[in-house]
Amino acid sequence: MNKRSLALTAAFLIGWLTTVLAQSTDEALQPVTKTFAFKNVTIVVKPGQIIQNGTIVIKDGLISAVGQNVAIPADARVMPADSLFVYAGFIDGLSNTGIPKPEPRPGEAQGPGQQRGQAQPGRNPGTPTNEQAGIQPELRPRDLINPKDKSIEEMRKLGFTAAQVVPNGKMLPGSSAVILLGGATADAMLVKENVALFATLSPATGGFYPNTVIGVMSKFREFYKQAEQNKAHEKMYAANPVGMERPTASRSFSALYPVIEKQQSISFLAPDLKSIYRVFALQQDLNFQLILSGVRQGWLLADQIKAKNIPVLLSLDLPKAPDKKDAKKDSTAAKDPEMVSLEKRRAEEMKNYETQAAVFAGKGITFGFSAYNAKTADIRESLRRMVKGGLKEDQALAALTTTPAEMLGVSKTMGSVEKGKMANLVVTKKPYFDEKSAVRYVFVDGMPYEYEITPTKPVDANAKVKAAGKWSYKIEIPGQQADGIFNLTDEGGKIGGTWVSSQDGQARPISAAELKGNQLTFSAVANVGGRDIPLDFELTLESAKFTGKVKAGNFGTFDVAGTRDGDPK
Amino acid sequence: MKKYFHFICLLLLSPLFLLAQSKTGSLLIKNGTVLTITKGNLSNTDVLIVDGKIKQIGANITAPAGVKTIDATGKFVMPGIIDAHSHIGIDAVNEASNPITSEVAVGDALNPMDIGIYRALAGGTTSSHAMHGSANAIGGQCQTIKHRYGTMNPEDLRMEGAPRTIKFALGENPKRVHGEGRGIQPRTRMGVEQVIRKGLDEARNYAAAVKKYQEEKKTNPNALPPTYNRRSEVLAGVLSGDILIHCHSYRADEILMMLNVCKDYGIKKITFQHVNEGFKVAPELAKFGASASVFADWWAYKFEVYYSTAYNAAILTKNGVLTSINSDSPDYIRHLYHEAAKTQRYGGLTDEEALALITINPAKQLGIENRVGSLEVGKEADVVIFDNHPLSIYAVPQVTIVDGIIRFDRQNDADDQRLEVDPIKAIATYSRAKHDVEDDRCLDGVFEINLDWFKNE
């Protein structure tokens, strides 16, 4: 590929991705009326409080009536909801929902092999700008939200109607805001700003300082204390500036002032045990109010967390068990006593992850849930696994509704199905935690989102389909052409081949291909302006066509469909 | 509740869980040959440990009620081995993004779940000096740890009260990372010296500014402090002698250079690490009072280490330089007693001299010689019991004790000693890069971030 065509490809693909980011896939219909009613439904008012055969009236964005003997106003659109279940809309305690990952700017670090921080002669990555160092506590979700970001719809489909969202970033990505998961503009979605300051122990990218966790631990302390110094300096200067050096007018420092004044907590991402200990160490040194966030592996510290009375946001990103079929395939491994005991310990450890929420509930720790880093497709399953692990359904529901509403200071308007509250509701076919349950309606701020309950095409592990051949594909990106050819080969069950995008004509290899029954999965890499974007295809094959999905790195998941064009040459 | 009952039972059955419950223990070691290191060898002698300290050394001691007895008849009892240079038990080695990073501390990233700690215990090593890497002229602060394997709390690993130490590095590594990699100072050995001097100068100025502010504040409530600077704050601690320098070095010329820097800044205590050409400047090191921590017979893994000798430790010792033998490796840390024995083949050191290289001498270099490094009444009960004399090629550690608690027992060495288990994969993934010993681990973590530069080579 010569330089010119490379540039063209890059230009095209960058254009493609920009369009992808701007696409919307689901838009709230403007309703004829703003009055809605559900009748003969089971209303879970709040955990432990249920109204059977109840009626709910929604008017102008608010719940105007809830109960068994409620008159339905004449202008109400009565939703076909007989015998469905109504819950308060769920609140995601912490995530990046609605905030697209920032596009790397030209010349900026773009992952391994593109570490420009080092590569530029004469430039010391040890003296970064605050932005390069991952220190941007001044960023606010309001300025970053894309109301059409796919993640909003994905979360809403699960029953989430509000979320505490934070900017993407490293050490200090910004402050958090509570937003509604629906609305035409960022301003319309915004419920409350400056709820907490978000922090992580992630090093800066691109080789810039701080480049390791030890760098972050030091820089965090230094930056915090410098902010304290600057705050004291500003106070003295305000009292009498004569003869005094001017304090630094730093947005980054001032973003920390509410934390220093203890008017705001730091929502600190601490997924694993060691991170929790490290965050505790920082808290001990600097004495800030703490919300432990995105906790995955904290059960051993449950007593300490309870004693310190720290609120927690448990991660909805549960580790996924390995495919049992794969383990069974290797029958020799299954008989090996060493493998048996290793597998036993693995399973025990998995149980620790699954029972953590129950352990926390048992200790009386205040906790909500966080979708940060969780795959939305796995969230319902994760919740069910926690319930199987001993978390009572009421406790799970509390962690999805009333508790986060309290934690985020929005309990007056959210968290329960009560008169006068915001009409944030999720309506399901069966009780939410039931495996066969499905979401039928979601109301956000009184606006309905309707979901057809259609069974997805079953995965048939025994189906016999042929993957080898020439297939044409089309990725569904509205308003954008993204199509081409898969040339697949099958050598004794080993699937290989290439894919050719019609947009640039380049043949690129596919990898990690596997055909299980009628399910074909494989990975590929698209190169956009020197940056590799992983593509993960998941296709259900029939004899002459296929449907499925492709996940394009951080840019989201898109539908893909295609037809068989013939056998490979 | 039944579910939790099973869960709790599992925890109670795990021996490691029991270990983690108490921080010190009591034991009686009966009838062994006790190699005290500092007070000679005592045959058929008992060592009584009470609450993590050595209470009594002598004949015919009876165990207090409830205290476990270990029969050491025919066995050798010596102080736990101390490694003055390793990188186990930490999650980050190099903050390689700047030529000076004195503000970072590997103690902020302790990893008590590192299986390397258990392996070190199996080799009789009870303490190690977890060091920052050598990417920078002035690296980060190091952490002296005790191998209390069984705890999940990083703080339990820290040897509380041990003096603070810091890594400095001369020669190829900082030149390569910053000079060749980024085209910034230091590009030469001269540059390394200037980076160090500049850092110390800034620290001296910072300390003076802080002092001035504290004075001024007494009379002027509007006095402004200098901008908080952790880098200079730590180096001011180096200047005041509170933080001990451990300096990665190979060549004689740069070792002499560093001695001059210490003289100029009034720094009294320095330990040179690796110091493969130390034998050339042994009298100078002895005169200054600097100490040396070396490999027994490992060199030629890069250009500046081509000139070396297995006699290095013996020559340094005979010249009166306080010398230790270190591992800088999760492999060598398991057999430092063999490494020490090599000095008898190459240099004819006595048993006492050879064993001191891995016990009391590294303890002195770390400033912990009053607590560990020899078997003496009142010292902390870090002990290893060998089946043969530890300098014999047949020696195998049998029991390793830290603070009076058995942390390794060859008779009770279960197959799977992991503390942390991956919930997804049954078999722990083995990271080759982390365990290879083709190079010292001092540049750990640098390769990954300097990928571009290595590619362009």
pLDDT value of residue A101? 87
Q: DSSP letter string over A506-546?
A: -EEEEEEEEEETTEEEEEEEEEETTEEEEEEEEEEE-SSEE
Q: Average pLDDT of chain B?
A: 91
Nearest CA in chain B to A228: B228
Strand partners, B325: B294
Under a CB-based contact definition with an 8 Å cutoff, are residues B89 and B145 in contact?
yes
- Residue that is written with structure tokens 């600057």 in the block: A230
The pLDDT confidence band at residue A559, using thresholds 50, 70 and 90, is confident
Whether B108 and A213 lie within 8 Å, measured CB to CB: yes
pLDDT band at A158 (very low <50, low <70, confident <90, very high): very high
Put simply, the chain B residues between 352 and 391 with a CB less than 8 A from any chain A CB are none
Q: Does A412 touch chain B (CB under 8 A)?
A: no
Lowest pLDDT segment from B10-14, B259-263, B355-359: B10-14
Q: How big is chain A, counted in residues?
A: 569
Tokens of B424: 């997804």
Query: Is residue A558's pLDDT more than 90?
Result: no
pLDDT band at B271 (very low <50, low <70, confident <90, very high): very high
Q: In which residue are the tokens 């304090």 written? A: A247
Q: Which of A116-120, A329-333, A462-466, B427-431 has the highest mean pLDDT?
A: A462-466
The pLDDT value recorded for residue B22 is 60
Quick one: closest CA in B to A226, which residue?
B228
pLDDT of A170 over the 80 cut: yes
Share of chain A above pLDDT 70, in %: 85
B444 in reach of chain A (CB within 8 A): no
Q: What is the pLDDT averaged over residues A426-454?
A: 91
How confident is the model at residue A552, as a pLDDT?
80
Q: Which of B427, B430, B16, B115 is nearest to A344 (CA)?
A: B427
Q: Is A388 on the interface with B (CB under 8 A)?
A: no
Cβ-Cβ pairs closer than 8 A, A with B, add up to 170
Closest residue, chain A, to B17 (C-alpha): A300
* B190 CB within 8 Å of a chain A CB: no
What tokens were used for B46? 């008992």
Q: Could B108 and A281 be called an inter-chain contact, meaning their C-beta atoms sit closer than 8 Å?
A: yes
Residue A193 has pLDDT above 60, yes or no: yes
Question: Does A117 contact chain B (CB < 8 Å)?
Answer: yes
B102, B140 Cβ separation under 8 angstroms:
yes
Q: Does the distance separating the beta carbons of A342 and B98 come in below 8 Å?
A: no
Q: Is the pLDDT of residue A137 over 70?
A: yes
Q: Which of residues 458-487 of A touch B (CB under 8 A)?
A: none
B428 to chain A: closest CA residue: A342
User: Helix (H, G, I), strand (E, B), or coil: what is residue A319?
Assistant: coil
Q: Where do we find the tokens 């973590």?
A: B445
pLDDT score recorded for residue A480:
65
Closest chain A CA to residue B180: A121
Sign of CA dihedral B261, B264, B270, B276: positive
Q: How far is A477 from chain B (nearest CA, A)?
A: 34
Cβ-count burial A37-64 (b if 16+ within 10 Å, e if not): bbbebbbbbbbeeebeebbbbbbeebbb
The alpha-carbon gap from A220 to the nearest alpha carbon of chain B, in Å, equals 11
Looking at the predicted structure, is the pLDDT value of residue A13 above 70? Answer: no
pLDDT above 50 for B166: yes
Whether the pLDDT of residue A375 is over 80: the answer is yes
First to last CA, chain B: 62
pTM for the structure as a whole: 0.83
To test the contact with chain B by mutation, choose from A110, A118, A240 the residue with the greatest count of B C-beta atoms within 10 A, namely A118
Q: What is the ipTM of this complex?
A: 0.92
DSSP track, B60-121:
SPPPPTT-EEEE-TT-EEEEPEEEEEE-TTBS----TTSSB-TT-BGGGGB-TT-HHHHHHH
Q: Is A8 near chain B, with CB under 8 Å? A: no
Percent of chain B beyond pLDDT 70?
89
A126:B98 CB<8 A: yes
Q: Could you say which DSSP state residue A121 is in?
A: T
Partner residue opposite A119 with nearest CB, options B3, B105, B453:
B453
Show residues of chain B in contact with A226, CB under 8 Å: 227-228
**Spatial distance between the Cα atoms of A465 and A4, rounded to a whole number of angstroms:** 41
Q: Are A217 and A119 in contact (CB under 8 A)?
A: no
Taking an 8 Å cut-off on Cβ atoms, the answer to whether B423 and A112 are in contact is: no
The answer to whether A508 faces chain B, any CB pair under 8 Å, is no
State the residue for tokens 């003076």: B208
Judged against a pLDDT cut of 60, whether residue A326 lies above it is answered with: no
pLDDT value for A502:
82
Q: Among the residues of B220-311, which ranges form H helices?
A: 230-239, 252-265, 282-288
Asked if the Cβ–Cβ distance from B104 to A355 is below 8 Å, we say no
Using pLDDT thresholds of 50, 70 and 90, give the confidence band for residue A561.
confident
Average pLDDT over residues A201-214: 95
Q: Name the residue among A131, A121, A107, A106 with its Cα closest to residue A208.
A: A131
Please tell me the predicted confidence (pLDDT) of residue A103.
72
What pLDDT shows up at residue A325?
56
Q: What percentage of residues in chain B have a pLDDT greater than 90?
A: 86
Read off the pLDDT of residues A245-297 as tens digits, 9 standing for 90 and up. Answer: 999 999 999 999 999 999 999 999 999 999 999 999 999 999 999 999 999 99
Spell out which residues of chain A touch residue B450, defining contact as CB-CB under 8 Å: 115, 118, 207
Maximal CA-CA distance, chain B = 72
pLDDT band of A327, cuts 50, 70, 90: low
| Cβ contacts of B89 on chain A, cutoff 8 Å | none
What pLDDT band is residue B65 in, cutting at 50, 70 and 90?
A: very high
Per-residue tokens: A480: 């954008």
What does the pLDDT look like over B37-46, one tens digit per residue?
999 999 999 9
Residue A27 pLDDT grade (very low, low, confident, very high; cuts 50, 70, 90)? low
- Candidates A218, A250, A344: best to mutate against B (most CBs of B within 10 A) is A218
Under the banding of pLDDT at 50, 70 and 90, the label for residue B391 is very high
Share of chain A above pLDDT 90, in %: 64
Q: What is the CA radius of gyration of chain B?
A: 23
Q: Which of A112, A118, A339 minimises the CB distance to B181?
A: A118
* Contacts of the segment B334-339: beta carbons below 8 A, 24+ positions apart: B334/B119, B334/B120, B334/B122, B334/B123, B334/B125, B335/B123, B336/B81, B336/B83, B336/B123, B336/B124, B336/B125, B337/B81, B337/B123, B337/B124, B337/B386, B337/B390, B337/B391, B337/B395, B337/B397, B338/B393, B338/B395, B339/B295, B339/B296
- Residue A335: predicted pLDDT: 77
Contact A118 B94 (CB under 8 A): no
- Tell me if B227 and A229 make a contact (CB, 8 A cut-off): yes
B455 in reach of chain A (CB within 8 A): yes
Size of chain B in residues = 457
Query: Model confidence over B401-438: pLDDT tens digits?
Result: 999 999 999 999 998 999 999 999 888 655 544 444 44
Alpha carbon of A298: minimum distance to chain B alpha carbons (Å): 11
Partners of residue A281 in chain B, C-beta under 8 Å? 108, 155
A212, B109: Cβ pair inside 8 Å? yes
Phi then psi for residue B155, to 5 deg, are -65, -30
Q: Which residues between 140 and 169 in chain B have a beta carbon less than 8 angstroms from any beta carbon of chain A? A: 140, 152-155
| From A209, A341, A350, residue closest to B98, measured CB to CB | A209
Q: Are B87 and B441 in contact (CB under 8 A)?
A: yes
**Backbone dihedral angles phi then psi of residue B162, each to the nearest 5 degrees:** -70, 145
Work out whether strand A531-541 and strand A545-552 pair parallel, antiparallel, or are unpaired: antiparallel
Residue predicted with more confidence, B2 or A461: A461
Can you list the alpha helix ranges (DSSP code H) found in B171-274? 172-174, 181-182, 189-219, 230-239, 252-265
Q: pLDDT tens across A209-219, in order?
A: 999 999 999 99
The reply to whether A208 touches chain B by the CB within 8 Å rule is: yes
Q: How far is B64 from chain A (nearest CA, A)?
A: 34
Tokens linked to A162 = 């509000």
Tell me whether the omega of the peptide bond preceding residue A210 falls within 30 degrees of 0, making it cis.
yes
Per-residue model confidence (pLDDT) at position A162: 98
Interface check A202 vs B, CB under 8 A: no
- Mean pLDDT lowest for which of A178-182, A511-515, B1-5, B133-137? B1-5
Query: Which residues, at least 6 apart from B403, have a Cβ–Cβ distance to it below 8 Å?
Result: B23, B24, B25, B52, B146, B148, B380, B381, B382
The confidence score (pLDDT) of residue A459 equals 60
- Give chain A's end-to-end CA distance (angstroms, integer): 24
**Band of residue A22 on the pLDDT scale cut at 50, 70, 90:** very low
Cβ atoms of residues B426 and A334 within 8 Å? no
Q: How far is A46 from chain B (nearest CA, A)?
A: 25
Residue A112: is its pLDDT beyond 70? no
Checking if the pLDDT of B218 tops 60, the result is yes
pLDDT tens for residues A463-508?
A: 778 888 889 998 876 556 678 889 888 888 788 889 888 877 888 8
Indicate yes or no: CB of A214 within 8 angstroms of CB of B415.
Answer: no
CA distances from A307 to A269, A287, A302, A366 (A): 20, 16, 9, 12
Task: Using alpha carbons only, give the angle A313, A318, A321 rounded to the nearest 5 degrees.
Answer: 170
Q: Which pLDDT score is estimated for B93?
A: 95
Residue B242 has pLDDT above 60, yes or no: yes
What is the spatial distance between Cα B277 and Cα B307, in angstroms, rounded to a whole number?
A: 7
Decide which of A218 and A569 is more confident: A218
Instruction: Establish if B51 touches chain A: CB-CB under 8 angstroms.
Output: no
CA distances, A173 to each of A136, A199, A262, A281, B283 (Å): 5, 6, 19, 20, 55
Nearest CA distance, A363 vs chain B (angstrom)? 13
**Cβ–Cβ gap A226/B423 under 8 Å:** no
Which of B92, B224, B422 is nearest residue A212 as measured by Cβ atoms?
Answer: B92
Can you tell me the mean pLDDT for A33-54? Answer: 95
**Quick check: helix, strand or coil at residue B397?**
strand
